[in-house]
Amino acid sequence: MSESEENGEGPPKDLPPFAQAMGQPLGWGGSDGAGGGAGGGTPPGQRQRRPPHPKHKGAQGGSGGVHRSPRALFCLRLNNPVRRAAISIVEWKPFDILILATIFANCVALGVYIPFPEDDSNAANHNLEQVEYVFLIIFTVETFLKIIAYGLVLHPSAYIRNGWNLLDFVIVIVGLFSVILEQVSHKPGDAHHMSGKPGGFDVKALRAFRVLRPLRLVSGVPSLHIVLNSIMKAMVPLLHIALLVLFVIIIYAIIGLELFIGRMHKTCFFIGSDLESEDDPSPCAFSGHGRACLQNNTECRGRWEGPNGGITNFDNFFFAMLTVFQCITMEGWTDVLYWMQDAMGHELPWIYFVSLVIFGSFFVLNLVLGVLSGEFSKEREKAKARGDFQKLREKQQLEEDLRGYMDWITQAEDLQGDDDEGEHEKHRLTAEELMGKRKPRLKWLRHASHSTDTHGGMGWDPNPNTGTPNPKYRDPKPLNSGTPNP
């Protein structure tokens, strides 16, 4: 028995009337019921139906179909008109387009808003604050419709169970809470009250949550789902790479402490004063291969804070780590190289900084890009596979529905043909019965006619079963006979 027969449900209501009006229930779901026989029979009184196939939606929270819970808010079943209307609205494509357009308009409104100090504002900001109420109403209606359609929290596919929906819900709740506080704390007699700051209570901290509304675009754009899911999935591998980067920074910071400690605090001064001889001072060396002070009346002395405001140096472990990290990011690493070259010569600085950039930047930091690229490729393949599977499932469902309808029509036509054959058989049997009743009479008439032709005037019993003379049926003597009658 097929799976559709075990469900014990009746045929769909959109079948032709003659298929629903047949006396014996029809099997739903395949060739077992269409072919008849032992496998296609159905016990009387038991209805059959194919298992329900849930509808699926395209770009919601990422990723897969939306399985609706049997109940929403403890009272709304799937056949409830209110819930059916909510499901139809939230799964309507123009509704998604409207929400995305509203989010985009809200982003534009946040971008053109001009903050003023204290309670100052202008007419443009006041109009934008009024438009914010429209945005909040639209987002609130969307939230309530989705809660009615999918449930709040108890079902696995409920509204808040999705992370992006939870973010939308928090933004809407904070917006409603700020509006309520604004209306409660607003003084009716305050003529100078502007909507940007309610009188008596400052809700600017709550309104700062409005900057999170552009993140709602992520829940409506599937490609952004792929990017953010890739970043989230790459967190654990990135943690391992971060430990490797930290290890490299610590090793090179310790080497820098051994080689370059105190080298960045000498520069050229005028002789007999603490005035620096250069507008943009740089390190110098007392002797050796470093930079020498070539101007007249200048000398290389210490007591200089160092380049970059005294931040770039190897005087302690933390400054050394900061300098190494700057070089790994390749942000101004050549300046650090030239400063160290001026302080102590060419050999060690070139070996140190070139090896640091090659190993730390070209290899270690690029591992981060490799991990992100790999996770992005995986998520993209998963999204493509989900899309292909969804299309294949919808195609198979359509073919299965069509095959089921054709089976129903075929079974209905077969049963209607059997009924027609039964009617013809009944008429044929009735005609044979009538012919059987008339057959003895016709046989007697044929035999009587034959006997008359053969025996002439003899008194003969026309009964074909006896064949003996009957004295009651003697022929009279011929009128032309000359023999006297006794």
Question: Does the predicted TM-score (pTM) go above 0.75?
Answer: no
pLDDT for 61 equals 37
CB atoms within 10 A of CB 337: 19
CA 430 to chain centre: 67
**CATH no. for 224-265+305-451:** 1.10.287.70
**Where do you find CATH 1.20.120.350 in the chain?**
75-220
pLDDT for 446 equals 61
pLDDT for 17 equals 45
Helix H, strand E, coil C: the string for the chain is CCHHHHCCCCCCCCCCHHHHCCCCCCCCCCHHHHCCCCCCCCCCCCCCCCCCCCCCCCCCCCCCCCCCCCEECCCEECCCHHHHHHHHHHCCHHHHHHHHHHHHHHHHHHHHCCCCCCCCCCHHHHHHHHHHHHHHHHHHHHHHHHHHHHCCCCCCCCCCCCHHHHHHHHHHHHHHHHHHHHHHHCCCCCCCCECCECCCCCCHHHHHHHHHHHHHHHHHCHHHHHHHHHHHHCHHHHHHHHHHHHHHHHHHHHHHHHHHCCCCCCEEEECCCCCECCCCCCCCCCCCCCCCCCCCCEEEECCCCCHHHHCCCCCCHHHHHHHHHHHHCCCCHHHHHHHHHHHHCCHHHHHHHHHHHHHHHHHHHHHHHHHHHHHHHHHHHHHHHHHHHHHHHHHHHHHHHHHHHHHHHHHHHHHHHHHHHHHHHHHHHHHHHHHHHHHHHHHHHHHHHHHHHHHCCCCECCCCCCCCECHHHCCCCCCCCCCCCC
**Where do you find CATH 1.10.287.70 in the chain?**
224-265+305-451
**CATH no. for 75-220:** 1.20.120.350
Instruction: Write out the two tokens for 440.
Output: 């003895």
Q: List binding-site positions.
A: 331
pLDDT for 357 equals 93
pLDDT for 255 equals 95
Q: List binding-site positions for Ca(2+).
A: 331
**Which residue, among 240, 241, 256, 373, has the nearest Cα to 326 in the 3D structure?**
256
Q: Low-confidence residues of the chain, pLDDT below 50?
A: 1-65, 191-200, 455-486
Instruction: Write out the two tokens for 347.
Output: 């050999």
For residue 350, CA distances in Å to 23, 329, 346, 357 come to 96, 17, 6, 11
